[in-house]
Amino acid sequence: MGELKKNSAVPCGVKELEKRLGYRFTDVNLLLQALTHRSYVYERDETELRHNESLEFLGDAVLGFLISARVFKLCPDLSEGELSKIKARLVSTENLSKLAEDIGLGDFILMSRGEEKTGGRHKRTIIADAYEAVLGAVYLDGGVEATFGYLDRQMAACFKDIDIRELTAADF
């Protein structure tokens, strides 16, 4: 994807990822940070370079909030426990990594050569974490409405195919 420096020219690939996300960033540096794995930063020893963990933290919270609101709206008569099980499934590493794979997010993650050699682009935790970081970046860049729209588009199939009985019977 190219080198990453604050206020630098947009690396090639960012426009393609924005197209896949269905969201155009005002501050592309937020997206670049969301795509930067810790290993990439440590390999380069650059003080201005920031990895995606703080955006992942924010994205996780935003994801939980927005999914909870959506699930509540779809299934207002379910119990708290049933709603929690549905939410747990939707925000699981398994589901997030699938959503990330669907848009090819792993191809855009900046990571160390060592992480790359050990299959980092296909590790479920790395791509799910990057997915949450991108959500955090969308939230900071466009606010809650933009994030809700993005998430609704990305998870449309998940919501459409939701099997309430199956999800509430399973233990996540």
Active site residue 45: no
Q: How far apart are CA 169 and CA 165, in angstroms?
A: 6
Select which of 60, 115, 129, 141 is catalytic.
Answer: 60
Q: How far apart are CA 13 and CA 78, in angstroms?
A: 43
Residues 146, 111 contacting (CB under 8 angstroms): no
Active site residue 152: no
Dig out the tokens for 111 from the structure.
Answer: 């990571």
Select which of 56, 115, 129, 132 is catalytic.
Answer: 132
Q: How far apart are CA 156 and CA 9, in angstroms?
A: 33
Q: How far apart are CA 169 and CA 81, in angstroms?
A: 10
Active site members = 60, 132
